[in-house]
Structure 1
Amino acid sequence: MAAKDPLVIDGFASVQAVRHSGKNKRDPKYGQSKTALPAAGEKAGTKKKVGPKVKIGHTVVPDVFEIVCYECGYTFPLRGRIQKTYCPKCRKTLVANEQIIESDWSGRVKTIGTVQVRNGGSLTKAHVVVGNLILDGRIEDSTTKICGRLELGSNASGDIAKIDTRDILIRADTKLSYRSKLRCENLIVEGNFRGTVEVSGLVTVMPGAFLQGRVKATRLLLHEGGGLKATVKIAGKT
Structure 2
Amino acid sequence: MARQPATRKVQCYHCRHRFDVSGRAQSTSCPGCYKPVIVGDVVVTTLKPVTEVRTCGSIVVKKKGRIIARVIEAHGGIDCEGAIDAKTVQGGLGVRLGPKAVFKGDLLALSLRVEEGARVTGGFFDIPNNDLDLTSLGEEGS
Q: TM-score, normalised by structure 2?
A: 0.61
- Does 2:66 match 1:122? yes
SS of the counterpart of 1:120?
coil
The within-5 A match list for 1:79-118 is 79-107=22-50, 108-118=52-62
Q: Find the aligned partners of 1:136 and 1:151 in 2 and give their Cα distance.
A: 8
Kept after mapping to 1: 8 A contact 2:108/2:125: no
Bigger-Rg structure (1/2): 1
Q: Find the aligned partners of 1:156 and 1:65 in 2 and give their Cα distance.
A: 30
Give aligned pairs, total.
Answer: 125
Going from structure 1 to structure 2, the CA distance change for 1:74 and 1:148 (only over 3 Å counts) comes to farther
State the partner residue of 2:138: none
State the partner residue of 2:12: 69
Q: Any stretches of 5+ residues in structure 1 without a counterpart?
A: 1-59, 185-198, 203-238
Q: Find the aligned partners of 1:80 and 1:125 in 2 and give their Cα distance.
A: 28
Quick one: higher RCO (CA 8 Å, sep 6+), 1 or 2?
A: 1
- Does 2:100 match 1:200? no
Q: Find the aligned partners of 1:92 and 1:123 in 2 and give their Cα distance.
A: 24
Q: Find the aligned partners of 1:64 and 1:73 in 2 and give their Cα distance.
A: 18
Kept after mapping to 2: 8 A contact 1:105/1:126: no
Q: Any stretches of 5+ residues in structure 2 without a counterpart?
A: 132-142
Q: Find the aligned partners of 1:62 and 1:69 in 2 and give their Cα distance.
A: 19
The within-5 A match list for 1:166-185 is 167-168=110-111, 170=113, 174-175=115-116, 182-184=125-127
Displacement of 1:72: 1.1
The within-5 A match list for 1:17-166 is 62-107=5-50, 108-131=52-75, 132-159=77-104, 162-165=106-109
Q: Find the aligned partners of 2:34 and 2:107 in 1 and give their Cα distance.
A: 27
SS of the counterpart of 1:139?
strand
